[in-house]
Amino acid sequence: MGLFNSTMLDVIIGLIFVYLLLSILCTAANEWVATLTRRRGELLRKGIHQLLENQKIIGEENNDGFLRAFYRHPLITSIMHDKNHPAYIAPRVFAAVVTDLLTAAKPGSIEFNDLEVGAKGLPDGQVKKSVLAIVQRSDQKLEAAQAAIEGWFNDSMDRVTGWYKRRTQIWTLIIALALTVVANADTVQIVRRLWQDPVLRAAVVEEAKVRAQKPPPTLSVEYKDEDDPTNPTVTRNKGNTLSGKERELVGQLLGWHGPFLTNLGWTTLVGWPLTVLALSMGAPFWFDLLNKFMNVRFAGKSPDEKPK
């Protein structure tokens, strides 16, 4: 019998399967938290505030007059949902609103000079400084100035996306930790149960086979416009649910059994962090690994199987 006999292989498959199911739950929870906290919209609000705050406008004493006017503009109010900040604002909409606010005194069509005059006419502040720096490098062309304002916004959105990614990573770890503790998902205990219970192990491998045959948890990306690669919305496919059989198996492998303290031991110190680390790898990783091991497992006859 080889060192990695079928029991060993099945235990590995079982553990990967559990990691995959927990990762799927983790992803689903993270998406739920993102929706609940309106993560993208709130970070976009923060990004826009950083660009437009500390700028008065003539006739208004408020320090953030320009920012308030921006959010009162019809192009922006039309994309607000029940006072919730939109998750996306197209760069050209941003540039159009800023240009319109700067040239409010000039009805009808505008030219480069109107934009420059409008910017110079603002009280001293952050927007005035930024816009003047931009328009003065636009070769006196309105289109170039508007493109530069879009670029200014895009640079800021790059930062917003960075915040979003970091925030998501932090939430993934928090959710993984919470899930591990609530479900007592101790890697060492999972391995022990799989090793010691051949019936459970066989059921887990069988279910892992079913899961491996399902479509992979691929991602889907959507842009506001097929020619505009800014601010993509990324979602995972709808494999984010566990079947009844999978939930039942997870229940047998994880959980708190008997008095609380009897569940905790030296293995918890190792097993919990291992599980949290594993979940942070994400469902696609474990799906791929599960497929690789299933290929090995079912590529040939099991070493334990007697010849017929």
Partner 1 sequence: MQPLKRFQSFLLLALLITSPLVVRADITVALTKGFVKKFKDKATVPTTFQVDKHHNKPNPIGGGSDDGDVHIAGRDSVVKLPMVAEIINGKRESDTFDFLMGMSAGQSIPLVGVCRLWFEHPGNEDQIMGQTVPVPGNTNPDHIFEFHPVAKFGNFDCLDSFLPIADQSNEFRGHPADKAFASYEQRPGTITQSNTAIMIMSNKAGFNYTDFEMRLTGNPKDVGDGFIVLADVFMPGAAANADPLTQEPRRMIFVKGSKPADKVATMSKGGKLHVLGIPRVNLNEVFAVANGLQGHDEYSEGGLPYEMIIVALLKD
Would you state the structure tokens that stand for residue 17, as one six-digit string? Answer: 């399967």
Of the pair 50, 220, the CB lying nearest partner 1 is at 220
Round to whole Å and give the CA distance between 39 and 263: 36
Round to whole Å and give the CA distance between 295 and 304: 17
Round to whole Å and give the CA distance between 300 and 303: 9
Of the pair 124, 226, the CB lying nearest partner 1 is at 226
Round to whole Å and give the CA distance between 28 and 210: 20
The least distance separating partner 1 from the CB of residue 240, rounded to whole angstroms, comes to 14
The least distance separating partner 1 from the CB of residue 47, rounded to whole angstroms, comes to 12
Round to whole Å and give the CA distance between 15 and 7: 12
Of the pair 12, 95, the CB lying nearest partner 1 is at 12
Of the pair 69, 191, the CB lying nearest partner 1 is at 191
Of the pair 51, 122, the CB lying nearest partner 1 is at 51
- Which residues here bind partner 1, judged by CB under 8 A? 3-4, 8, 11-12, 15-16, 158-159, 161-162, 165, 187-188, 191, 195, 215-216, 218-232, 234, 237, 274, 278, 281, 284-285, 288-289, 292
Would you state the structure tokens that stand for residue 113, as one six-digit string? Answer: 């000079």
Of the pair 30, 187, the CB lying nearest partner 1 is at 187
The least distance separating partner 1 from the CB of residue 281, rounded to whole angstroms, comes to 6
The least distance separating partner 1 from the CB of residue 41, rounded to whole angstroms, comes to 17
The least distance separating partner 1 from the CB of residue 293, rounded to whole angstroms, comes to 10
Would you state the structure tokens that stand for residue 14, as one six-digit string? Answer: 């079982």
Round to whole Å and give the CA distance between 13 and 297: 9
The least distance separating partner 1 from the CB of residue 9, rounded to whole angstroms, comes to 10
Per-residue burial over 142-170, b if 16 or more Cβ lie within 10 Å, else e, is: beebbbbbbebbeebbeebbebbeebbee
